[in-house]
Chain A
Amino acid sequence: MPRAMNVVPSRGSRIILALLPFLLIALVYVIGSAERRAANPDDKLLPPVSEMVATTKRLAAEPDRRSGEYVLWADTAASLQRLALGLGISALVGLVLGLAIGLLPVAGASFGTLVAVLSMIPPMAVLPILFIVFGLGELSKVVLIIIGVTPMLVRDLSLEVGSMPREQLIKAQTLGGSTWQVAIRVALPQIMPRLIKCMRLMIGPAFLFLISAEAIAADVGLGYRIFLVRRYLSMDVILPYVAWITLLAYLFDLALVFIGRRAFPWAYEQEARR
């Protein structure tokens, strides 16, 4: 009998093992839902799967009576746009500031501490300020994501630049590289895999900020919808929405892994060797 730590599942059984917990959870839900319905036909807490499917179909495939929009898609598009803008701008700012702080001692001396302090501000605490300054429109939601995500990105990326072997920066200079050239050809590409990793970790917080902002002030969006129907205890909307958000986040994560492996094969080659 081999030790438990040496028992490795085969490819096929790996898939089954991965699906098993999901099936279990689904089973428990179905049983629980049926039981509650049997006790109280008006139960709202655990709607049966059929009801959720019907609701989802209505939200996704039938135009809304008042606005004429397909609600699920309108919400998804609005939320994804905010998320993409927020994360995209954060990544850009993170790269630029991270490079500057990590590579230029003067920038590090003047902004390093500032960023460290800024990253301690709880973003939700400044949300009212954002609403006051930027109004209730798109901007304040995007800015909340940026404020929540960027400081950590800047810190992490500047540390990553700082942890590059000094030898490499010296070598680049002996090859005639200027500060700018070293930044874009030596430092930038080497922190890109790290950026991908950070973005993967930041998907969760980004969604948190997005949904919070939408819950408080919005007229369309995934978070807005959930908090809107909460008043009617519409679990048949909330649960599919939560599942949909989770699926989206999971797909982003997969996409980032894929992009990272495709664009920076050298980083993963090194990892595989370790």
Chain B
Amino acid sequence: MSTLSFRNIWVEYGDQIVLERINLEIASGTFLSIVGPSGAGKSTFLRLILGQEKPSQGTVLLDGKPFPAEPGPDRGIVFQRYSVFPHLTVLGNVLLGYEFAERRLTARLLGEPRRKAVEQSLALIEAVGLGPHRDKYPSALSGGMQQRLAIAQALAKRPRVLLLDEPFGALDPGTRAQMHALIKPLWRDLKMTIVMVTHDIKEAFGLATRLIALDRVRRDPQAPERFGARITYDLDLTRDGAVPVLGFIRAEAEARS
């Protein structure tokens, strides 16, 4: 189980308000897409879940409990770039997660435990279609292959929540379609909660079970930093037509009153 709750979240950097009044419940197993203009605070939103950022007001809860304010293995992430380690081969990149978990001091596996971990890693590498490239370094992989590796690497920890920050932004349409075909079954089989930021509306609608849009509702042309972004749309995509999520409207009404 992995329900994420945002209770009246505000994020500010100095004078600049980035996010304001974010109220949201993300049910376990949701595939949530986040869209919004550049600078709306989408990456900031992910950093909140990651624990890399603390809200200036409000709380974020995982299954009703606050979580440690630093990244941990229960929340995986794939960034747009720099997600894989350049000094490790494909296999080494995936293996690292197992080595971290099993050897606190050396972070290196040898002998039988290593063989087992290699087996598990190879299964993941096969699943993302990188089998033939297991001994290559990332610099010898294409952008799409690197992103697939980043996904395999994150999956090794069986995270409850997987965060994707424009993971396919740098890919051509063909590779992107391949990645979509890859991620959807993985999400279904592993029963994770996925939160994906994207600029591609089609991608957002095509993959997700729920979609939210972040944008500023109030603007001050003299001082654009005075107002933060809020959730302007919240759509349930599991029905035939996209339907606004009830909780969202209620939260908005509460906020207004």
Task: Using CB atoms and an 8 Å cutoff, list the residues of chain A in contact with chain B.
Answer: 165, 167-168, 170-178, 180-181, 184-186, 189-190, 264-267, 269-270, 273
Residues of B within 8 A of A171 (CB): 77, 79, 82-85, 150, 153
Residue in B50, B70, B96, B139 whose beta carbon sits within 8 Å of that of A175 in the complex? B96
Residues of A within 8 A of B104 (CB): 178, 181
Beta-carbon contact of B86 and A167 below 8 Å: no
Output the least CB separation between B2 and chain A (Å): 14
Residues of B within 8 A of A273 (CB): 139
Rounded to whole angstroms, the CA-CA distance of A267 and B150 in the bound complex is: 19
Residues of B within 8 A of A168 (CB): 82-83, 85
Task: Using CB atoms and an 8 Å cutoff, list the residues of chain B in contact with chain A.
Answer: 50, 52, 70-73, 75-77, 79, 81-88, 96-97, 99-101, 104-108, 137-140, 150, 153-154, 156-157, 159
Given the contacts A190-B86, A266-B137, A175 and B107 also touching, CB distance less than 8 Å: no
Beta-carbon contact of A184 and B157 below 8 Å: no
Beta-carbon contact of A266 and B96 below 8 Å: no
Beta-carbon contact of B71 and A170 below 8 Å: yes
Q: Looking at chain A's contact residues, is the secondary structure mostly helix, strand, loop, or mixed?
A: helix
21 contacts across the A-B interface (CB closer than 8 A): A165-B82, A167-B81, A168-B85, A170-B50, A171-B79, A171-B83, A171-B85, A171-B153, A173-B70, A174-B76, A174-B154, A175-B156, A176-B73, A176-B157, A177-B96, A178-B104, A180-B105, A185-B99, A266-B137, A270-B86, A270-B139
Beta-carbon contact of A174 and B71 below 8 Å: yes
Residues of A within 8 A of B87 (CB): 189-190, 264, 266-267
Output the least CB separation between A160 and chain B (Å): 13
The residue of chain A having its C-beta at the shortest distance from the C-beta of B78 within the complex is: A171
Residues of A within 8 A of B159 (CB): 174
Beta-carbon contact of A170 and B52 below 8 Å: yes
Rounded to whole angstroms, the CA-CA distance of A104 and B14 in the bound complex is: 24
Given the contacts A176-B97, A181-B107, A266-B139, A186 and B85 also touching, CB distance less than 8 Å: yes
Residue in B75, B85, B137, B140 whose beta carbon sits within 8 Å of that of A174 in the complex? B75
Beta-carbon contact of A167 and B82 below 8 Å: yes
Rounded to whole angstroms, the CA-CA distance of A140 and B101 in the bound complex is: 45
Rounded to whole angstroms, the CA-CA distance of A137 and B156 in the bound complex is: 56
Output the least CB separation between B152 and chain A (Å): 12
Rounded to whole angstroms, the CA-CA distance of A273 and B86 in the bound complex is: 13
Rounded to whole angstroms, the CA-CA distance of A240 and B30 in the bound complex is: 76
Rounded to whole angstroms, the CA-CA distance of A199 and B84 in the bound complex is: 28
The residue of chain B having its C-beta at the shortest distance from the C-beta of A177 within the complex is: B100
Residues of A within 8 A of B150 (CB): 171
Given the contacts A170-B50, A190-B87, A175 and B73 also touching, CB distance less than 8 Å: yes
Q: Which of A176, A177, A184 has the most CB of B within 10 A?
A: A176
Given the contacts A266-B87, A270-B139, A174 and B107 also touching, CB distance less than 8 Å: no
Output the least CB separation between B167 and chain A (Å): 12
Residues of B within 8 A of A175 (CB): 73, 96-97, 100, 153-154, 156-157
Residues of A within 8 A of B77 (CB): 170-171, 174
Rounded to whole angstroms, the CA-CA distance of A177 and B108 in the bound complex is: 12
Output the least CB separation between B51 and chain A (Å): 9
Residues of B within 8 A of A185 (CB): 96, 99-100, 107-108
Rounded to whole angstroms, the CA-CA distance of A173 and B74 in the bound complex is: 10
Residues of A within 8 A of B157 (CB): 174-176
Output the least CB separation between A193 and chain B (Å): 9
